[in-house]
Amino acid sequence: MGCDEKREPAGGRLRVQDIPALTQDHCRMRDPAEVERIINEFLIGGPERMQIVSDFDYTITKQRTEDGGAVPSSFGIFNACQSLPENFKAETDKLYHKYRPIEIDPHMPIAEKVQYMIEWWTKSGELTSGFPFDQSEIDQIASKYTHALRDRTHEFFADLQRLGIPTLVFSAGLGNSVVSVLRQANVLHPNVKVVSNFLQFRDGLLDGFQQPMIHTFNKNETVLNETSEYYDLVHTRDHIIVMGDSIGDADMASGVPASSHIIKIGFLFDHVEANMKKYMDTFDIVLVDDQTMDVPRSLLSLIEKQHKLNLEAAKQSSL
Ligand SMILES: C[n+]1cn([C@@H]2O[C@H](COP(=O)(O)OP(=O)(O)O)[C@@H](O)[C@H]2O)c2nc(N)[nH]c(=O)c21
Ligand SMILES: [Mg+2]
């Protein structure tokens, strides 16, 4: 940390108390000085060193809508499709009731849970097999939920595109639904990559999910194939904003070099009191019932402002 402390963005070090988005009552930080240090690193590094890693369900979508309407998860969108076999919903519900308690069991070690999760996603894939299915069904249902994205999501993705910041959307849910919602909301820009479970077809029938399986406990950058283009891209970008609504989402950047600077933003909505300590221990910034993209956008805006100053200064000095 020693040498980091001496590093300053051109124009001076930014103080956390001077960033209005971070001084709001519902914005909590375990260690504001550390957040301040990393933001200043982000400013020095500029957009070229940034990447975003975000969960989808209830992170890009809202945890609570103004009209009180429920927002389905990506699996939920699929389950609402009309052409699924009669027993599909009952069978997947049975799996949910068996495996969900294991997924969130606070006492079972992760290594043990992983086996159960592989079992769950495998069985779910087996049920999602052997019948015809058309993507347009997902598209039709997803189109009803493009309004359920957080306020200013459109602007957030436009910022990321303008700044050329690679954005990884991770979901252990169903990628076909995630892509459909993002595409129909006009935010699926070329800098956005969705890593999730995608439907597989064989001889015109559904044949489970494509590999690699993304489940709750491998939903992180270690699943990126080392030979993929995206792996190279994100491994040169060591300034990272991670966004999620579940505790496990905080690990989505594991797999990146240890020297990286990471700010983890956690959206907390359910059982605020009971969950507060855990969220504060896990995320650097905890946003309580915040249904907007305003805080991540405020960080991007600081980075962009500094970047413009730097470009201006470079232009002046070359004259
Ligand atoms: C295999 N499977 C897993 N899930 C749940 O879907 C979630 C998807 O995981 P996630 O991508 O972390 O989304 P999140 O933001 O909702 O946490 C998992 O955490 C599981 O609880 C599932 N949910 C449904 N409805 N059907 C399934 O087959 C199924
Ligand atoms: Mg989520």
Is the pLDDT assigned to residue 226 strictly greater than 80? no
ipTM: 0.97
Tens of pLDDT, residue by residue over 265-279, are: 999 999 999 999 999
Give the active site residue among 4, 18, 55, 249.
Answer: 55
Active-site residue flag, 290: no
Indicate which residue's Cα is closest to atom 23 of ligand 1: 75
Protein residues with C-beta less than 5 angstroms from the ion ligand 2: 55, 57-59, 245
Please answer whether residues 136 and 53 qualify as being in contact, where contact means their C-beta atoms are separated by less than 8 angstroms: no
Tens of pLDDT, residue by residue over 53-109, are: 999 999 999 999 999 999 999 999 999 999 999 999 999 999 999 999 999 998 999
Judged by its nearest atom, the ligand closest to the C-alpha of residue 88 is: 1
Note the pTM of the prediction, 2 decimals. Answer: 0.95
120 lines ligand 1 (CB under 6 A): yes
CA of 116 to the centre of ligand 2 (A): 20
- What domains appear along the chain, each with residue ranges and CATH number? 16-65+142-318 (3.40.50.1000)
CA of 272 to the centre of ligand 2 (A): 16
CA of 183 to the centre of ligand 1 (A): 21
58 lines ligand 1 (CB under 6 A): yes
